[in-house]
Amino acid sequence: MPRPPNYEFQEWWNQQRDKNHDLLQDNNTTFLTVQIRSPTSDPTVGKEVRSRSARQISWIYLLKFQQIAISLAWITNSFIFLLRTANRRIHSSESAPSDSPHSKLYRVIKFFLFLVILLLCFELLAFFKGWHFSPPSVGSAELMVELLYAKWLQIRADYLAPPLQSLANMCIVLFLIQSVDRVLLVLGCAWIKLRRLKPTLTAVGDVEGGNVEDYPMVLVQIPMCNEREVYAQSIAAVCIQDWPRERMLVQILDDSDELEVQLLIKAEVQKWQQRGVRIVYRHRLIRTGYKAGNLKSAMGCDYVKDYEFVAIFDADFQPAADFLKKTIPYFKGNDDLALVQTRWTFVNKDENLLTRLQNINLAFHFEVEQQVNGVFINFFGFNGTAGVWRIKALEDCGGWLERTTVEDMDIAVRAHLCGWKFIYLNDVKCYCELPESYEAYKKQQYRWHSGPMQLFRLCFVDVLRSKVSWTKKANLIFLFFLLRKLVLPFYSFTLFCIILPLTMFIPEAELPAWVVSYVPGIMSVLSILPAPRSFPFIVPYLLFENTMSVTKFNAMISGLFRLGSSYEWIVTKKLGRSSEADLVAFAEKESDPLIETTTTSLHRSNSESGIDELNKLEGTKKTEIRTRNRLYRMELALAFILLTASVRSLLSAQGIHFYFLLFQGITFLIVGLDLIGEQVS
């Protein structure tokens, strides 16, 4: 039974409308009004009557026109801004070797860009001619263009689609294998958290006693090269270690080629020497082998034989005052333990979008990869810093070698093949700094992905000939090197930057939607779990990782086949975000009275900065090179390839593929214009 109409409510509503109709007007603008009349007993009145005046309709069209004009103005301004940015940055600096016009990969990408643009023009012509809906055959073609299109359909179906589909299937299989590996790592990490598995101390309290002789001899090394911004804070952090001074020696291994930086570091070392810290300054005359050569030279000193352990910190790392007390005890009773690695924590992870995305990657690396490998197989790659080595283990595996640009991974693999074990401490953290510019990050990633391939080529035979078990050999070859260092950048670049755009122009070869969106989305969620605060950046993270695949793929190929600048070492630029004030703030959070006492000395060190040395250098001071944002040709070429493919996907009405190609192309464009990291005006 229908509900009877409420006449009282309708009458009240009409009265309120007549009194307050002016509330619907803003700045003398009349908007659309709806008149609701009271129902009558007449059965013919069953519909509401709506009236629109010509003036109201004209105002509606004026508002719509204003919205369109604002949108067009925004698009025009954005386009002009991009053009000005490109024009300003195209001549800002020389290209990196991996991004130069003479790069082989860049030439291939340029040819690919020319090809897809040509194919898009051809497909647009076919679309407007109606050939997409009724494809012409070779026999029925009347025009030359129609005959060419019919031939193209036949060639792509018979000759191009089968090999492209086979390559796509191979990359999908690799993608799924790598995804399973990531899922297993996450499950392993969850098991560690659930069971609260941690490395255990076999002997507790030996280094906490009052007898100084119970403390082992520790050598602390800080290799650096032209680290003007961070040298003081790293030296200060090491010199305030809660360890007997007579049982610790600090080596400052300075490879700087700038005289001013050398004198500044010398002045800082002399300042701490006057305070009673056992610290020495070393500078090589023959600077070969980069960091590995620097460490190798330092380990050749005669007094090193008196020390049992060596702690290594890069120039931008600041360990807590109790770092040695939290790491050295794990060696007691573990004679087969070679390395204790600690976790990195970043003082500038929220500086910009680039540092936030880096933090997601490295949080997964330390929280999941390093922890799982350390707990279950006692092996992982040494991170090159924030770790303590047993000197006997370094000597047993041959010491530092200069054959690759990843000397830390090299010595870790050789120590593992000699039977030594590693421990990872996830709860011991060491402050450090992330690169804030895309240029610095790209150079870092290029070295990190070319070096492992150099090492794999050099140590493959050694792994097969080693005396470790076949399970450890299989883990090294298939998981550590092939799957995580070679397969990941290969399928990432090939699948999403080459195969996916090609399938838009060769639709006979298909790439399922779950490969494009669903599985990568799930993997991104798993990757972001160790950094839950970064969850709002999950989509930029997925797109940026695909963008970085071109750099990683280029580095992997260069390292594997010794191409380009795979052996070039470029020091990652630091900005000194982690200052001495950060160390003081950290010390104030601790309850250790020793840390509180060292805070005072840290404040004093901040005011004493070797002014005499600076005054001597005023006449010979070099003009610093101003850093600038630049243009990255390879990323821009891939941006236009993906955007071109997204236009082609519109003709086939492929929704998910279109959105992925569009947003991935925009991401490549943003990165190519260097708009993601630090912006220099």
Active site residues: 255, 408
Whether 507 contacts 457, CB under 8 Å = no
- Span between the terminal Cα atoms of the chain, in Å: 73
Whether 123 contacts 648, CB under 8 Å = yes
Assigned token pair, 556: 């992997």
Q: Determine the distance from the C-alpha atom of residue 516 to the mean position of all C-alpha atoms in its chain, rounded to a whole number.
A: 20
Question: Cβ neighbours of residue 78 under 8 Å, at least 6 residues apart?
Answer: none
Whether 407 contacts 228, CB under 8 Å = no
Calculate helix-pair angle for 104-129, 144-155, nearest 10 degrees: 120
Backbone angles phi, psi at 51, to 5 degrees: -125, 140
Residue type, 401: L
Residue 631 burial (CB count, 10 A): 20
Closest C-alpha to 455, from 487, 423, 485? 485
Residue 105 burial (CB count, 10 A): 18
The torsion angle over the Cα atoms of residues 230, 235, 237 and 239, rounded to 10 degrees, is -170
Residue 230 burial (CB count, 10 A): 22
Whether 679 contacts 629, CB under 8 Å = yes
Closest C-alpha to 405, from 230, 231, 256, 564? 564
Closest C-alpha to 566, from 459, 460, 484, 451? 451
Whether 368 contacts 186, CB under 8 Å = yes
CA-based Rg of the chain, rounded to a whole angstrom?
Answer: 32
Q: Determine the distance from the C-alpha atom of residue 522 to the mean position of all C-alpha atoms in its chain, rounded to a whole number.
A: 18
How many whole angstroms separate alpha carbon 112 and alpha carbon 120? 12
Task: Determine which helix (DSSP H) or strand (DSSP E) holds 275, and give its type and residue range.
Answer: none
How many whole angstroms separate alpha carbon 295 and alpha carbon 448? 19
Per DSSP, what are the bridge partners of residue 296? Answer: none
At 342 the three-state DSSP class reads strand
Closest C-alpha to 221, from 271, 281, 276, 289? 281
Whether 342 contacts 225, CB under 8 Å = no
Q: Determine the distance from the C-alpha atom of residue 639 to the mean position of all C-alpha atoms in its chain, rounded to a whole number.
A: 19
Whether 305 contacts 249, CB under 8 Å = no
Question: Cβ neighbours of residue 402 under 8 Å, at least 6 residues apart?
Answer: 288, 289, 290, 292, 293, 296
How many whole angstroms separate alpha carbon 531 and alpha carbon 514? 25
Q: How does DSSP assign 466-520, residue by residue?
A: SSS-HHHHHIIIIIIIIIIIIIHHHHHHIIIIIIHHHHHH-TTS---HIIIIIHH
Strands (E), 191-285: 218-224, 248-254, 279-283
Task: Determine which helix (DSSP H) or strand (DSSP E) holds 606, and give its type and residue range.
Answer: helix 593-607
